[in-house]
Structures are given as structure tokens and as C-alpha cells.
Chains A and B, each alone.
Chain A
Amino acid sequence: DTGVSQDPRHKITKRGQNVTFRCDPISEHNRLYWYRQTLGQGPEFLTYFQNEAQLEKSRLLSDRFSAERPKGSFSTLEIQRTEQGDSAMYLCASPPGLPNHGELFFGEGSRLTVL
């Protein structure tokens, strides 16, 4: 258990529906990352928060995707009008300190299946 919690672990939805994933990082970690991983590939960076500020967004994050971290604690990732291509594992991670120092703790992930 890395201390990073993600919910739900699995989500099956129909194309066109909206879904929201939640990440609860280790409480004192001020940086938070979202990644997406498709079958047979490594995780791909989606977005990064420093406290409540979203500092970087990947081009992978289309207009249908929105991420928030309202109080600098938990974060949500919402996908609107889901498409089959959105089917993937969505991973949240938080590190303990400065960039390039120490581990990056990952949650267990939220697996999305879009039918």
C-alpha cells in the first residue's frame, strides 16, 4: 500500500457517458500527477498539480478531459462524452518532496472500460 488511494478501481460505462475518478494522495504531498496507461504500453503523462494549481497539461488531455484539485488535497479527473478510445487505466501519483528527490508513489489505478 503506497498511501495513494484511487476510486473507483473499475468503471464500465457506455459511450457518451461522463465519468469521474478521484485520487487521494498522501496528505502532505503537494504535487500530484495523473497518467493514462493503455494495454501493453507504459504510463503516459496527462497533467500535474502543485497544490491546487494545474501547472502542466499534456496534449493527450482533450477538451473532454478536465482535472481539478480544489483544496490542494484530493484530485478529480472527469471525462465527458466518453469514447471507446478512452478505455485505459488512469493512474494517480504523488511524490514526497522536491522533483528528482525520492520515490513517486502510484495509486492502484482506476480502470475504465467504455462499451
Chain B
Amino acid sequence: SQELEQSPQSLIVQEGKNLTINCTSSKTLYGLYWYKQKYGEGLIFLMMLQKGGEEKSHEKITAKLDEKKQQSSLHITASQPSHAGIYLCGALTHGSSNTGKLIFGQGTTLQVKP
């Protein structure tokens, strides 16, 4: 099984709707990163969470970290077509926190219908 599981794998929402993407780790988290990727392009950094209970926002995107559950969620409010893309969570876990090596989930593909 995957070390980092994202759900759902894909999502289609109507413009203006809210949505949540989840990322669950099977190992203790030392840091959780969220990225966005357009098809065929590199990863764009969105947010980094390090402490349990931490919550960060950027424009209409909010990410939270539940350290005890080893989970993070990414919430988009009032989605727009510009939010479409692949959302990836990456984690620093035991053994990788010293090197900074991230383990990634498989990604969540978001489509926003106008």
C-alpha cells in the first residue's frame, strides 16, 4: 500500500462549489507540503505545514494538518476554473526529515466546470 494516500483520486465540481482533498500518511509526519501541477508541467508550491493543528491559507485555498491522525486536508472555497489541475501532497517522514526528501501521494485531479 502507498505510504501517502490521497483521496479522492479525481474530482469534478461546478464552479463556485467548495471542495476538500485529503492526504493520509502511514508514517509519522515531520512536514507536509501541498503542490499544484498543470498537466505536463512542474510542481508549484502551495503551502507547507509542520505543526499539529497548523492551518495556512493562500487566497481561497486552506490547508490543515492533523498530526495525531497523520492527515492533512486541502480545502478550496468557491472554486474557479483556474483551480483545475493536479494537487499533490508530499511528506517528510522518519528517515527523510534530515535529507529533506519528500514522499508524494498519487495526486488528485480536479476539474472545475464553468
Contacts and interface: CB of A to CB of B under 8 A. Distances in A.
Contacts, number: 75
Interface residues of B, number: 28
A108 B42 contact: yes
Contacts of A2: 42, 44-45
Identify the interface centre among B48, B98, B100: most chain A CB within 10 Å of its CB: B100
B97 interface: yes
Contact of A100 (B42, B88, B100, B104): B100
B101 A45 contact: yes
B103 to A, nearest CB: 7
Contact of A91 (B4, B43, B44, B101): B43
B114 interface: no
A89 B48 CA distance: 24
8 contacts: A2-B42, A4-B42, A35-B104, A48-B99, A99-B98, A102-B48, A103-B45, A106-B43
Interface of B: 4, 6, 30-31, 33, 35, 40-45, 48, 50, 88, 90, 92, 97-107
Interface of A: 2, 4, 6, 31, 33, 35, 40-45, 48, 55-56, 89, 91, 93, 95, 98-100, 102-109, 111
